[in-house]
Chains A and B, each alone.
Chain A
Amino acid sequence: KAGVTQTPRYLIKTRGQQVTLSCSPISGHRSVSWYQQTPGQGLQFLFEYFSETQRNKGNFPGRFSGRQFSNSRSEMNVSTLELGDSALYLCASSLQGPGTQYFGPGTRLLVL
Chain B
Amino acid sequence: AQKITQTQPGMFVQEKEAVTLDCTYDTSDPSYGLFWYKQPSSGEMIFLIYQGSYDQQNATEGRYSLNFQKARKSANLVISASQLGDSAMYFCAMRGHASGGSYIPTFGRGTSLIVHP
Which chain B residues (11-63) contact chain A, with CB distance < 8 Å?
33, 35, 37, 42-47, 50
**How far, in whole Å, are A105 and B45 apart by their CA atoms in the complex?**
7
Binding stretch for chain A, among B66-74, B80-88, B103-111: B103-111
What size tier do the contact residues of chain B reach? 20 to 34
CB neighbours (8 Å) of A100 from chain B are 33, 35, 47, 50
Which 6 A-B pairs give the minimum distances between C-beta atoms? A103-B45, A43-B107, A98-B103, A105-B44, A106-B43, A56-B102
**How far, in whole Å, are A50 and B102 apart by their CA atoms in the complex?**
12
**How far, in whole Å, are A102 and B44 apart by their CA atoms in the complex?**
10
**How far, in whole Å, are A45 and B93 apart by their CA atoms in the complex?**
11
User: Does B103 lie within 8 Å of A56, measured CB to CB?
Assistant: yes
Interface size, chain A (Cβ < 8 Å): 24
Is A88 engaged at the interface, CB distance under 8 Å to the other chain?
yes
Can you give 11 contacting A-B residue pairs, CB < 8 Å?
A42-B107, A42-B109, A42-B110, A44-B107, A45-B104, A45-B105, A97-B103, A98-B95, A100-B33, A101-B35, A104-B44
| Majority secondary structure, A binding face | strand
**How far, in whole Å, are A87 and B50 apart by their CA atoms in the complex?**
27
Q: Which of A88, A101, A106 has the most CB of B within 10 A?
A: A101
**How far, in whole Å, are A55 and B91 apart by their CA atoms in the complex?**
24
Which single residue of chain A is at the shortest CB-CB distance from B106?
A45
User: Which B residues have a C-beta under 8 Å from some C-beta of A?
Assistant: 33, 35, 37, 42-47, 50, 91, 95, 98, 102-110
**How far, in whole Å, are A81 and B98 apart by their CA atoms in the complex?**
29
CB neighbours (8 Å) of B33 from chain A are 98-100
- B58 → chain A closest CB, angstroms: 17
**How far, in whole Å, are A101 and B94 apart by their CA atoms in the complex?**
11
User: Does B37 lie within 8 Å of A103, measured CB to CB?
Assistant: yes
Which chain A residues (66-112) contact chain B, with CB distance < 8 Å?
88, 90, 92, 97-106, 108
CB neighbours (8 Å) of A8 from chain B are none
User: Does B45 lie within 8 Å of A90, measured CB to CB?
Assistant: yes
**How far, in whole Å, are A106 and B44 apart by their CA atoms in the complex?**
6
CB neighbours (8 Å) of A22 from chain B are none
